[in-house]
Amino acid sequence: MPKISQRGVLMPQSPIRKLVPYAEQAKKDGVKVYHLNIGQPDIKTPEVALNAVKNNTLEILAYSRSEGSETYRTKLAAYYKKNDIHVNADNIVITTGGSEALSFTFGSIMDAEDEVIIPEPFYANYNGFSSAQGVKVVPVVSGIKSNFALPPIADFEALITPKTKAILICNPGNPTGYLYSKSEIQQLASLVKKYDLFLISDEVYREFTYDGLEHYSIMQEEGLESNAILIDSVSKRYSMCGARIGCAVTKNKTVYKTIIKFAQARLSPPTYALLASEAALDTPDQYFNEVTKEYVTRRNVLVDELEKIEGVKVAKPNGAFYCIVELPVEDSDVFAQWLLEDFRLNNETIMVAPAAGFYSTEGLGKNQVRIAYVLNKEDLRTSVAILKAALTLYNA
């Protein structure tokens, strides 16, 4: 029998999606499953974006430009300017989701066995993108006691080797919801300039910041033009996960031209999704005001209810719509599967994402889960009640 590649063997499973078969079986058995496991917002997509697809007059669904249409990139540059990020259309490559933007970036700046330093826990697919490119993830640990703040710069510096090519952050963070401060970004900027590294920032949750805090982008930092690569997406911003439109933004002309070569090899981003994404830029600011207000309420409900459960610790997020929760269990993978297979409260259960898959360091996150507060307030309360009852029975 022919064998698959070693790279295929080493490709990690998604901790977010690997439990799907158990959830599907529970649903077939008539059980209601509350999905706390995946960042699929229940917020409605802006009508202006949906109408752009519904009412278009295209007669041929043709290829788009490999780097995305000039009209969209120009309009996107204007959006960034509103956010004090000064770039132009020729700094932007449109991709099939933020995931492709990151894959193209890895392929453009790193060779096999090169290293990227990432604060952990981090978005689980960073492991997948790295594995696919043969790149080594070097984790620098942040902890729940500090609310997953940026680890000391000395910890980053101690990990730099001749193979180190980049530092990657997610701001605000998935899965932690941590929002890096301007001071933390500036510390990283100084470090990458000192060692001539790239600083990659995944900023897909830019709009979702709370408690009066503001997002500070690496693209706002002067003197970082050669080092900074911004990863972005419409998925969360406009609740358009299925559109699969993202982008890579950089003022480094060599990196930009290299990313375009990868973009040309896959031909083009999807045409209908480009139409929707361009139209979405006309979404009024009131949309984000209302969405952010809703997420703050949901976060507060979730955190308040979780803190009432004995033995549970939760890091309060200042952005995005995720939090890491530490549970009084030994193995959250086993517990999460048990919830779907064996536990029912009023014929309902919950689905969570075991957090070990968001770490690269073996053994970390074993008693943690990531919860996405993308459900309405009442469903969140019900979900936490289910979790409390489940923990009581599980530990009995």
Per-residue pLDDT of the chain (396 residues), as tens digits, is 998 888 888 888 776 678 999 999 999 999 999 999 998 888 999 999 999 999 999 999 999 999 999 999 999 999 999 999 999 999 999 999 999 999 999 999 999 999 999 999 999 999 999 999 999 999 999 999 999 999 999 999 999 999 999 999 999 999 999 999 999 999 999 999 999 999 999 999 999 999 999 999 999 999 999 999 999 999 999 999 999 999 999 999 999 999 999 999 999 999 999 999 999 999 999 999 999 999 999 999 999 999 999 999 999 999 999 999 999 999 999 999 999 999 999 999 999 999 999 999 999 999 999 999 999 999 999 999 999 999 999 998
Lookup: tokens for 199: 């600083």
Query: In 3D, which of 242, 238, 231, 283 has the Cα closest to residue 103?
Result: 231
Q: How confident is the model over 376-389, as pLDDT tens digits?
A: 999 999 999 999 99
Alpha-carbon 336 to chain mean position: 21
Give the whole-angstrom CA distance, residue 69 versus residue 91.
Answer: 13
Q: pLDDT at position 180, please? A: 98
Buried b (16+ CB within 10 A) or exposed e, 105-130: bbbbbbeeebbbbbbbbbbbbbbbbb
Query: What number of H helices and E strands is found in the chain?
Result: 13, 13
| Pairing label, strands 353-354, 348-351 | unpaired
In the chain, where the domains are located? 6-44+286-394, 47-280
CATH number for the segment(s) 6-44+286-394: 3.90.1150.10
Give the whole-angstrom CA distance, residue 378 versus residue 297.
Answer: 11
What secondary structure, in 3-state letters, does 318-336 show? CECCEEEEECCCCCHHHHH
Judge whether 6-44+286-394 and 47-280 match in fold.
Answer: no
Q: pLDDT at position 122, please? A: 97
Q: pLDDT at position 8, please? A: 86
CATH of 47-280 among 3.40.50.2300, 3.30.56.10, 3.40.50.300, 3.40.640.10 = 3.40.640.10
Kindly report the number of other CB atoms within 10 A of residue 139's CB atom.
20
Q: pLDDT at position 275, please? A: 96
**Beta strands in 90-211, from DSSP E residues, in sequence order:** 92-95, 115-120, 136-141, 164-170, 198-202
Q: How confident is the model over 126-139, as pLDDT tens digits?
A: 999 999 999 999 99
Lookup: tokens for 130: 């790295």
Q: pLDDT at position 12, please? A: 83
Q: pLDDT at position 6, please? A: 85
